[in-house]
């Protein structure tokens, strides 16, 4: 949508086109902003799953410790590699392909 605003030949003011161009730069596929947003989305996904598991009616203490351990392992893995099922892995993949394309050109 923002790209169509920037490219449009309509009577939009320069300010609107400049704002759209700024959004495109901020949220580009390889931007730091997008990477941070996807990282937080993955962290929220892990914590949400932990919360759901801890709300079961048949929960016992060993189950709590197991769920906690799984969530902590997933969070520790995020320090080194993207979460396999998460959003960050998709963004990193797009950023990697852009860098590879630049190298081969």
- How crowded is the C-beta side of 64, counted as CA atoms within 13 Å? 7
Q: What pTM was computed for the model? A: 0.65
Q: Give 30's contacts (C-beta < 8 A, 6+ positions apart).
A: 91, 94, 95, 98, 99
pLDDT digits over 41-99, tens only? 899 999 999 999 999 888 899 999 999 999 999 999 888 877 777 777 676 555 555 54
pLDDT higher than 80, residue 9: no
DSSP code of residue 57 = T
For residues 29-44, give the mean pLDDT. Answer: 84
Rounded CA-CA distance 30/97 in Å is 10
Confidence of residue 12 (pLDDT cuts 50, 70, 90): low
pLDDT range class, residue 10, cuts 50, 70, 90: low
């Amino acid at each position: 949508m923002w790209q169509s605003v920037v490219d449009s030949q309509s009577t939009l003011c320069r300010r609107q086109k400049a704002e759209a161009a700024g959004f495109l730069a901020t949220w580009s596929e390889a931007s730091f902003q997008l990477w941070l947003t996807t990282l937080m989305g993955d962290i929220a996904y892990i914590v949400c799953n932990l919360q759901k598991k801890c709300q079961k009616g048949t929960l016992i203490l060993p189950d709590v410790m197991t769920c906690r351990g799984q969530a902590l392992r997933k969070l520790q893995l995020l320090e080194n590699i993207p979460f396999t099922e998460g959003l960050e892995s998709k963004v990193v993949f797009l950023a990697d392909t852009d860098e590879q394309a630049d190298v081969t050109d």
